[in-house]
Each structure stands twice: as structure tokens, then as C-alpha cells.
Amino acid sequence: MSELKLENVSRWYGNVVAVNGVSMTIGPGVTGLLGPNGAGKSTLIHMMGGFLAPSSGSVSLDGAAIWQNPNIYRSLGLVPERESAYDFLTGRQFILAMAKLHKLKDPGTAAARAIALVEMDYAADRIIGNYSKGMKQRIKMASALVHDPPVLLLDEPFNGMDPRQRLQLMDLIRRMADEGRTILFSSHILEEVERLASHIEVIVAGRHAASGDFRRIRRLMTDRPHLFLVRSGDDRRLAAAIIADGSARSVQLTDKGLQVEAVDFQRFTWLLPQVARDSGVRLWEVSPSDESLESVFSYLVGK
Amino acid sequence: MNATIAMITFRAMLGRRRALLLFALPLVLILLAVGLKVTGLADLEVSTGVLQRFGLATLLPLLALIAGTGVIGPEIDDGQIMYVLTKPIPRQVIVLTKLAVAIVLVTAFAAVPTLLAGLLMSGMTEQVAPAFTVGVLVGGIAYSAVFVALAVVSRNAVTIGLLYALVWETLLGNFAPGAKSASIQQWALSVTDVLTGATTVKSTVDLAVAVPLLVAVTAVGTLLAVVRLRSLAVASAE
């Protein structure tokens, strides 16, 4: 059982702050690191993987500092986001080389085990340069697993995978977690994180926005006020009816239509058609106007 | 030294298209030597001129640049270095292995062709051929250490290395005698000068100065590469 610990970690590049005062503890099981592109997820993973020094704060694995400490790689496996492996080697040669670099007692057996784990036996003797994206992802996974590490870091592992490859990798990650490993993966896609992670850490604009199990995060995300744009036959009458009903916090009359800030997403979507019917107004268009992931995240930061 | 890293590095170096350069340059030197021999032009002055201008001053820095930056630069640029760095291997082992591979390549593609070209043109006259071979070898070790360090420190290692070899050592050396003395090429030539009786080989630097400088440059380059690799920050994808 291993534990990754970040204490008040910041990282800046010149004047740009990429990660700002993040503290989190990552224990056994699958943790999803969720955030929009450019939020600082890769910077965080690079610091956890020992490829970047924190500008301030500390990153440690079971109490040992990670930066400039090659020995932690005995218990840490890292799957980088970059696709390039040694393209001129076959999958088997690559994994065997990794096993030897780890100075494992029986590199041949370890390599065969890792390759079997990611179900790549059938292609292990082809060169990596000819692999598909999903195969490359799996062979990279095998390279990180060859020394059977208790901690696994995956940077955007599902990027560019087709749905079938995605499901296979999710299965594999779940199996790894069931064996008691500490697994962290980053993603900017909520559904991926929700399906796989029992615990979620949300990063927005370099800051730690939320932490907890996915139901709590999900609720935070759906409970926020939603903005809708409504066009109808008689905007003024509809506005009066919505205000009277109480399911919206504010209604604004604009030249594009009604801008409605709903308090309760589900109640509002359920009530709106009834309110419109009761007041004899025909609805032309109802569209959510701020459903982008960024606006969801920025709401969480505000909390 | 680490055999696995050496194996991967050799395969990467000799599999790439730029490896053709490794073969092409020494081939030109040997063809030139054969041509001069056949036409009977290869007297001692011409032989030493070819070995010095082409072998020591052109072939050696270019090959050392290709080998020295090639053993580690592309790996850092493409991110594959992560697969080596995420292993419990002391960083100095990685650097020393990379340096050793570069030196083996320089030996095979610069020192051995120099020996062959020298023997072809002048046999063992005044020990010219072995003297230049030793000069190329010690120069090659120093160049390799400098270029490996350069590749770890900068993403523009090839450009900087070319500027050093062409502008500093060759061009400036012709105008400013001071600059000429501060070059690996001259230090290597100084070693050659001592080993051969040919009067056409003249170095501007004393052996007592050249040898310590060669050793110092090699040591500093290696150390710098180790220190910088230890805190190599991999460029973030963001």
C-alpha cells in the first residue's frame, strides 16, 4: 500500500503559474485527475513522476522525496502522454530492455508477464513503429508495469483511443487497482473519470478545485445555477410566469430571447414546458448557454 | 556502463538516416587518399595536409558532433529518455554509457578511417598515420564529451556545435591566433605533432598545455552532462 503526497505544491514557469498551492494525498485504488486542457494536470503528473521540480512545496512517495531520487522508480511506474517509444525495437525487445534497466532478477519472465498483462502477445514481435495508437498505449503500459510497481501514473491514457481500446484499458486499470495498487490517471473528460475512478481530484487553472468521490463532484456540477436561453412567442409573459413559479433565480429580457438562470436544473427543465403551456406561450427554443466543461470547472473554482 | 542503454543507443544511431553521414564522410577521406596515392601526388606534405585539414579539422568535429549529440539529443527531444530516466539507474551511468557509445562511433568512423587514409598515403613514414590516429582519438574523446553535454543542456546543440566547430575553430582561428589556441582541434594537433617527425605538422599549443586542457574539457563536459541530466525537466505537453 503506497501513498503519494503533495504538500502545498506550486510550479511556475517564469511569470506563469502552472500549479498553485496544491495539496492532495493519493492512496490505493483509482484516482482520476480531472481538469480542462491546460489546467496543470501534466505539470502535476510530471512532478509526481520526478520529471519536474516543484517550485515550492513537496512531492513524496511513502515519505521519500521524488525529485532527484531515481530509487523511487523501483516502486513507481509512469506512462507518459507522449506517444514515442523506441520505434525501432519490437514490443518484446522494448519491454525486455525495460526489465533489464530495472535490473530485475529474471527479466525474460518479467517481460513476458507484463506483455501478457496488456494482452499484447500477438504483436510483441512486430516493431513498435508499426503499432496503432492503442497498441502503443498498451506497450507503454507494459513498460510501466514490468517491475510490478505499487504506484502507477498515467498521463491522459485514453487520448486518441477508439471506444473498444478504451474499454480494454479501463478493464486493465481496474484489475491493477483491485490488486491494491495506487493508480492515478489524468483526463479532461468527465465520463472517463466517472466510469473508472473511485476518487476524483479536480484541477482548474492550476488550482485544486475539488476533491472527493465522483457522486459528490457530480452533484456539485449539476447543482450549480444553469443558464438557459429561451425563445418563445411572448417572452414578456413567459418571463413573468417563470418568475412567479420560483424555479429560476433571475430572468433577463434580451434581444436574443430570455436569459434564465435556473436554480435547480432538473426541476427547471421539467417545469418550463408546463409553465409555458399554462400561460399559453409557445416555446420556440430552449438551449443551455454555458454547458462547456470550462464553465462547469470555473463554477467549481468559485465554490 | 549499462549494456542495455548501450544496445538501444547503438541501434538508434546506426538505424537512423543520419547514420548515412557516419559512413559517407570517412568514405570521402579514404577515396581521397586512394586517389592521391594512385596519381602519385601523395608526398609527405600533401598527406599531412589532407590528414590535418580533412581528417582532424573537418571529419573529426563533424562526426563527433553527429555522434555526441545523436546519442542523447533526439531521445530528449522525443521524450523517450523518460524510459531510461524512470529506472533506478544513477544518472552518471547513463551519461558515461552515452559518452562511451559516442567515443566508439568516433573511433570507428573517424580514427580508423584516418589510420587507413594515412597508411594508404604515406605508409609508416615519420609515423604520420599513427600520430594522426592518436590525435583524432584524443580529440574525439574531448569533442564527444563536449557535444554530449551540449545535447543535454540545449535543444539547439547541433547548431551551437556547428558554430563552434566552423566559426570558432576554423574561421576565427585563421584571424585571431588567441582563438586558435583555445580549440580542441589545436590541442589534438599538438598531440599529433609530438608523435610525428614530419615538419609539416605544426601546432600552436604546447603539449604540456594541450593535454591538461583535453583532460579538463572532457571531465567538465561529462560532469556538466551528469548534473544537468539529474535535473532534466521534461518539457510539459501543455
pLDDT tens-digit readout, B30-54? 999 999 999 988 888 899 999 999 9
CB contacts under 8 A, B 87-106 vs A, are 87-91
Burial zone of B78 (CB within 10 Å; 0-12 exposed, 13-18 middle, 19+ buried): middle
pLDDT value at position B238?
35
Under CATH, which number does the domain A224-302 receive? 3.30.70.100
Where in the sequence of chain A do the CATH 3.40.50.300 domains occur? Answer: 4-218
Asked if the C-beta of B227 comes within 8 angstroms of chain A's C-beta atoms, the answer is no
Is B96 a member of any domain?
yes
Where in the sequence of chain A do the CATH 3.30.70.100 domains occur? Answer: 224-302
For residue B175, is pLDDT > 50? yes
Give the residue from chain B lying closest to A98, CA to CA: B83
CB contacts under 8 A, B 27-56 vs A, are none
| Confidence at B22, pLDDT banded by 50, 70, 90 | confident
Torsion, Cα of B59, B62, B68, B74 (10° steps): -140
Chain A residues touching B237 at Cβ < 8 A: 42, 81-82, 155
Percentage of the residues of chain B whose pLDDT score is greater than 70: 97
Chain A residues touching B79 at Cβ < 8 A: 80, 82, 84
Note the pLDDT tens digit of each residue in B91-119: 999 999 999 999 999 999 999 999 999 99
Query: In total, how many domains does chain B have?
Result: 1
| Confidence at B181, pLDDT banded by 50, 70, 90 | confident
Please provide residue B69's backbone torsions phi and psi, each rounded to the nearest 5 degrees.
Answer: -80, -35
CATH architecture entry for A4-218:
3-Layer(aba) Sandwich (3.40)
Q: What is the mean pLDDT of residues B179-207?
A: 88
* CB contact at 8 A, B157 and B69: yes
pLDDT value at position B176?
75
pLDDT value at position A95?
96
List of residues 6+ apart from A64 with CB closer than 8 A: A71, A72
Is B238 a member of any domain?
no
pLDDT value at position B178?
74
Q: What is the mean pLDDT of residues B174-194?
A: 85
Query: Cell numbers of B76, please?
Result: 530528449
pLDDT value at position B237?
38
List of residues 6+ apart from A216 with CB closer than 8 A: none
Give the residue from chain A lying closest to B14, CA to CA: A88
List of residues 6+ apart from A132 with CB closer than 8 A: none
d(CA B123, CA B47): 10
Give the residue from chain A lying closest to B77, CA to CA: A84
d(CA A18, CA A37): 12
Note the pLDDT tens digit of each residue in B133-165: 999 999 999 999 999 999 999 989 999 999 988
- The ipTM, to two decimals, is 0.88
Is B135 a member of any domain?
yes
Chain B residues touching A53 at Cβ < 8 A: 231, 233
d(CA A11, CA A288): 36
Is B94 a member of any domain?
yes
d(CA B86, CA B95): 15
Pick from A77, A11, A44, A38: which is nearest to A188 by CA? A38
pLDDT value at position A51?
86
Q: What is the mean pLDDT of chain B?
A: 90
- Residue A148 DSSP symbol: -
Shortest distance between the Cα of B217 and any Cα of chain A, in A, equals: 26
d(CA B98, CA B106): 12
Among the partner residues A86, A89, A101, nearest to B89 by beta-carbon distance: A101
> Letter for the amino acid at B226?
V
Shortest distance between the Cα of B85 and any Cα of chain A, in A, equals: 8
| Structural domain containing residue B191 | 3-230
pLDDT < 70 stretches in chain A: 218, 221-224, 290-303
List of residues 6+ apart from A189 with CB closer than 8 A: A158
d(CA B69, CA B65): 6
CB contact under 8 A, B4 and A97: yes
* CB contact at 8 A, B65 and B217: no
CB contact under 8 A, B85 and A70: yes
Torsion, Cα of B177, B181, B184, B190 (10° steps): 110
Is B172 a member of any domain?
yes
Please provide residue A16's backbone torsions phi and psi, each rounded to the nearest 5 degrees.
Answer: -95, 125
